[in-house]
Amino acid sequence: MKADWLWIGQVAMAALVNVAYAFALGSAFYGAWLDKDGRTPVSPVRLAWLRAQRSLRAAALVLVVALLMWLLYESASISGEPLPGAFGVLGTVLAQTHVGHAWSVAFAGALVLLGCAFAAPGVVRDGVLWLALVATAAGRAGLGHAADAGFASAALGLHTLHVLSASAWGGVVMAGGLAVLPALGTSTARGVLIRTAGQVSSVAFFAVGFMLATGVFDAVRGSGGSYEAIVASTWGRVLLLKAALVALALLLGGFNRLVAMPELRRAASTAAARRFVNVIHLEAIVMIGVLVSAAALAHSMPGYVLQG
């Protein structure tokens, strides 16, 4: 790994892909949860539902653009060409490398996701949207070190699950704290906020379990089971930073689940609702850090390689 401007740009685009995908996944959850109440024009939930639709569209659009830019940086990295010269090798990268094949799957899923985001909600549209989200996750997983074991490997399958679970947790937190949940702050929407808070907590709880299990597998695989490979490599230090941010996000999420949410259910007050949303807002900021560190991790040489 050479930390030059090309690497920084590549990591920046990968981080944008991570955040946009998680935001799209989280927005899809909120769109489904609020769909019944949000379709009514005079419903107090209408604004939150519209925010979920808009954030899905914005995230899907950013995802498509970020994937295109990431491919350009990756092509420059593979070929050794400067960034403008990478346009000439795009076709070769797409046709002859596993990165190109995995990117094609991710990009096709992102394009379908973008189309679904602007389509009218319905059973068929929603089904295709969720399939597109899964396909995009599988393609993204193939862009990382897990694909070194081959496309038909347990490592890639587990990393796909890791991408989905981490994005589900980060998505419901980011889309909720930064876009949707503040629109449920009125007293008339308090019942929906309480119900949605329970759904957010359930998704986050199960997603965290899968993310931690698959994350441990990825960490052991990346380090080759060596503690030295973690503490003595840039990859390992980025991994430790990501673990610290995950721990902080878990503390915030745990506070909401064990303290703020029971208070919200019991009192249903404006103060309790504000506390719950504010903590999710803080957790969303931390989750952005987690996804950025994950991008840097994916573009750093694994510790086991450096240890031979």
Mean pLDDT, the chain, integer: 88
Residue range 116-128: mean pLDDT, rounded: 92
| Number of structural domains the chain divides into | 1
The position carrying tokens 């969720």 is 130
Residue range 225-274, pLDDT digits in tens: 666 767 767 888 888 899 999 999 999 999 999 999 999 999 889 999 99
| pLDDT exceeds cutoff 90 at 148 | no
**Bigger pLDDT: 41 vs 174:** 174
User: Which position has the higher pLDDT, 148 or 173?
Assistant: 173
Question: How high is the pLDDT of residue 3?
Answer: 62
Residue the block writes with tokens 């944008």: 16
Write the CATH number for 192. 1.20.1630
Query: Which stretch of 61-75, 132-146, 243-257 has the lowest confidence by average pLDDT?
Result: 132-146
User: Residue 104: which domain range?
Assistant: 5-306
pLDDT score recorded for residue 236: 82
- Show the tokens assigned to 304: 């086991």
Task: Report pLDDT digits (tens) over 101-113.
Answer: 899 999 999 999 9
Instruction: Retrieve residue 88's tokens.
Output: 């000439």
Say what the pTM is. 0.92
In this structure, the number of other CB atoms found within 10 A of the CB of residue 294 comes to 25
Res 166: pLDDT: 93
Question: Are the CB atoms for 70 and 10 separated by under 8 Å?
Answer: yes
